[in-house]
Amino acid sequence: MSTTPTAVITGASSGIGAATARSLAASGYRVVLTARRKERIEALAAELTEAGHEAVPYALDVTDRAAVDAFAAFLDGRGPVHVLVNNAGGALGADPVSSADPADWRTMYDVNVLGVLHITQALLPALTASGEGTVVVLSSTAGLATYEGGGGYVAAKHGAHVIAETLRLELCGQPVRIIEIAPGMVKTDEFATTRFRGDQDKAAAVYAGVAEPLTAEDVADTVNWAVTRPPHVNIDLLVVRPRAQASNYKVHRES
Ligand code: 8X3
């Protein structure tokens, strides 16, 4: 059986997930790429394989518990899992609490909270079997503080933050560490566009005048650093923002 460590990345089809997959593959991990969009993860797996890395694509919706259990069964017998990067997530809408659509909140809770719960529960045996497992929860600065219009996303990301905090307590003494990475403003192809349902003007306004928002690669680099610390070192929580952002609502914009 291969001695190459295995890293599973959710939401690996684009943005931070894809960048994290590339980064961990370059660091010698066999990467298992999961996302709903099969063609995208197949293309990324082909790119990584072409570059001499080990990459396995597996189409998966983390909100579907039965599908997550089937994925865990697929991995079973293929060796332990060393790293799980819970990256799948996202925002939908920026409405005030008074008028937000509960359906958006449900969707955000499903992917940002239950998605993390499903796959972390399902892969914990394989992570424990590695003898030095690492669970990364990519939360957000929205998981630590609130802002107007953040409503449902802030609530969901607080949920992801609480999962990380609680798991760290519950797994203390077991060979699995829990790392939470909380990025602030990251400019990716899809985050703001998805949030504003394809409205490019609203999406662009999020980053307007900000000289250098973080990139997906910046966050991937942070994830890579955290997971490649020696196994006894636990980076509990790491907040990463662009220099131009001092808080979710204090952003320097050049006019
Ligand atoms: C993204 C950060 O400020 O859009 O997770 O909520 S923010």
- pLDDT tens per residue, range 70-114: 999 999 989 999 999 999 999 999 999 999 999 999 999 999 999
Pick the residue whose CA is nearest to atom 6 on ligand 1.
142
- The answer, yes or no, to whether any atom of ligand 1 lies below 6 A from the CB of 142, is yes
This prediction's pTM: 0.97
CA of 115 to the centre of ligand 1 (A): 18
Atom of ligand 1 at shortest range from CA of 154: 6
Atom of ligand 1 at shortest range from CA of 153: 6
- The answer, yes or no, to whether any atom of ligand 1 lies below 6 A from the CB of 141, is yes
- pLDDT tens per residue, range 185-229: 999 999 999 999 999 999 999 999 999 999 999 999 999 999 999
- pLDDT tens per residue, range 148-168: 999 899 999 999 999 999 999
Mean pLDDT of 122-130: 97
CA of 28 to the centre of ligand 1 (A): 30
- The answer, yes or no, to whether any atom of ligand 1 lies below 6 A from the CB of 248, is yes
Q: Which residues are known to be catalytic?
A: 153
Alpha-carbon distance of 28 to 5, in angstroms, equals 8
Pick the residue whose CA is nearest to atom 2 on ligand 1.
184
Beta-bridge partners for 56: 32
Identify the structural domains of the chain with CATH numbers, from first to last.
6-240 (3.40.50.720)
Beta-bridge partners for 248: none
DSSP string of the chain, one letter each residue? ---S-EEEESSTTSHHHHHHHHHHHHTTPEEEEEES-HHHHHHHHHHHHHTT--EEEEE--TT-HHHHHHHHHHHTTS----EEEE----------TTT--HHHHHHHHIIIIIHHHHHHHHHHHHHHHTSSEEEEEE--GGGTS--TTTHHHHHHHHHHHHHHHHHHHHTTTSSEEEEEEEE--B--SSHHHHHTTT-HHHHHHHHTT-S--B-HHHHHHHHHHHHTS-TT----EEEE--TTEEETTEE----
CA of 179 to the centre of ligand 1 (A): 19
